[in-house]
Amino acid sequence: MAANISTVQKVKIIEYWNESKSIVVVRRKYSKFFNVQMRNAPTRYVINRIVTNFVNTGSVDKKKPPGRPSSVRTHDNINKVNARITQNGNVSQRRLSNIMNMKRTSLRRIMKEDLGCYPYKPKLLETINEKDFELRKKFAQKMINAIDNCSTMLKNMWFSDEAHFYLTGHVNKQNMRLWAQSNPNYTMETPLHPQKITVWCALSKIGIIGPYFIENTVNQYEYLNIINRFFKELKIKYPNTDPWFQQDGATCHCANAVLAKLSDFFGSNVISRRTNFEWPPRSPDLNPCDFYLWGYLKSKVYNNEPQNIMQLKKNIKLEIKKISSQTLIATIDDYFARLYKCVEVGGDHIEHLLK
């Protein structure tokens, strides 16, 4: 009988029950309203079941879930989990489930569905020594002042750096398995020193020069060759600019012969160790090549799984050509914002403070 009762009929049963709290009255009113004989009205058992379901679920149609009611995802437990992760978010689910004395599946549902929490990987930041804070702050403030006093400086500033791109990388044995009925003593050969290529680029608001590929160890002679190539290409592509040039404090960058050559090319417009614009140590977060270019390229050039160095070089060239002028402008604008943030925090880390 209950299976044939419509939602409208169930609503009326609840209405009559709330008015009288009498099954006899409910059956009589039901019979009169729906114009049916008393023997065809819902039985006492059916009315009891409809009323009980409504009390438990708040609905005439929704069924009470089978089994015992949930006793873990309570309001009290949700608040306790929230307090724990607010106090210390750097804790594993396994350990937290032991502390809270609840199953990991229940804990995971509370964290994701009730609290909207997700696991985030930490950003790896280079250690900054205490004495570096003031150097970074002074550099950032000096750059801000110079850029404010020269409207074309930021547009004509070239940031340079080199990075290693490995062809094979390292084998992750944790994710490799060979299924067999007995131990096959399976081995793999992997090179002691994986093949790699060193890439040098210079990036600015108006373009990218490079990539220049370095086959050998980067020393002052290799670097001088790169600087000569860069300056020739710069004069051809952007002849009427007053360029600035930035490099980090690597030993080969700051050799006497290199700094002399840079002085010939750029005059006093050089940002480097041992110059008037002293580049602060341990500051990749202030170099667009580090905080944008290399990460972007490494997220793209391995997508087709290059099989040799030539293919890897080709991928690098293609991906650099795809970088739009709007992206370069946004990247250098980000650099300027980073200078202000560096001053604001007294030369401390800024990556975790940036959106």
Max intra-chain CA distance, the chain: 110
Q: What pLDDT was estimated at residue 193? A: 64
Q: What is the pLDDT of residue 123?
A: 58
In whole angstroms, give the CA distance from residue 284 to residue 287.
Answer: 5
Cα atoms found within 13 Å of the Cα of residue 80, Cβ hemisphere only: 13
More confident residue, 168 or 71: 168
pLDDT value at position 176? 39
In sequence order, what are the residues at sequence separation of 6 or more whose Cβ sits closer than 8 angstroms to the Cβ of residue 94? Answer: 104
The whole-model pTM stands at 0.63
Buried b (16+ CB within 10 A) or exposed e, 53-62: bbeeeeebee
Q: How many helices (H) and strands (E) does the chain have?
A: 13, 5
Instruction: Tell me the DSSP string of 25-94.
Output: HHHHHHHHHTT--GGGSPPHHHHHHHHHHHHHHSSSSPPPPSSSPP-SS-HHHHHHHHHHHHH-----HH
Q: Tell me: pLDDT of 70 over 60.
A: no
| 214 beta partners | 198
CA 354 to mean position of chain CA atoms? 12
| 186 has pLDDT over 80 | no
- Rounded to whole angstroms, the Cα distance separating 255 from 282 reads 19
The highest-level CATH class for domain 132-181+191-353 is: alpha beta
Between CA 82 and CA 117 the distance in angstroms is 10
- What are 137's two structure tokens? 């702050």
User: How far is Cα 197 from Cα 217, in angstroms, rounded to an integer?
Assistant: 10
Q: What are phi and psi of 149, to 5 degrees?
A: -90, -10
Residue 277: strand pairing partners: 271
Rounded to whole angstroms, the Cα distance separating 179 from 268 reads 64
Best CA proximity match to 50, nearest among 13, 97, 96, 76: 13
Sole residue written with tokens 């060239």: 317
> pLDDT for 293-307, tens place per residue?
999 999 999 988 898
In the chain, the DSSP E strands lie at 157-166, 196-203, 208-214, 244-246, 270-271
> Which residues touch 274 (CB under 8 Å, ≥6 apart)?
254, 259
The pLDDT of residue 238 is: 92
Characterize the bridge pairing of strands 270-271 and 244-246: parallel
Task: Reply yes or no on whether the pLDDT at 329 is more than 80.
Answer: yes
Phi/psi for 159 (5° steps) reads -100, 130
Radius of gyration of the chain from its Cα atoms, rounded to whole angstroms:
35
Tens of pLDDT, residues 1-59:
445 788 888 888 888 888 888 888 889 889 888 888 888 888 888 888 888 888 878 78
> Structure tokens of 195?
């093949």
Say which residue, 162 or 186, is predicted with more confidence.
162
Q: Identify the pLDDT of residue 3.
A: 52
68 CB burial (10 A radius; 0-12, 13-18, 19+): exposed
Give the tens place of pLDDT for each residue, 258-281.
Answer: 999 999 999 999 999 999 999 999
Other C-beta atoms closer than 10 Å to the C-beta of 138 total 14
pLDDT, tens digit (0-9, with 9 covering 90-100), for 195-227: 889 999 999 999 999 999 998 888 999 999 999
Q: Are 332 and 288 in contact (CB under 8 A)?
A: yes
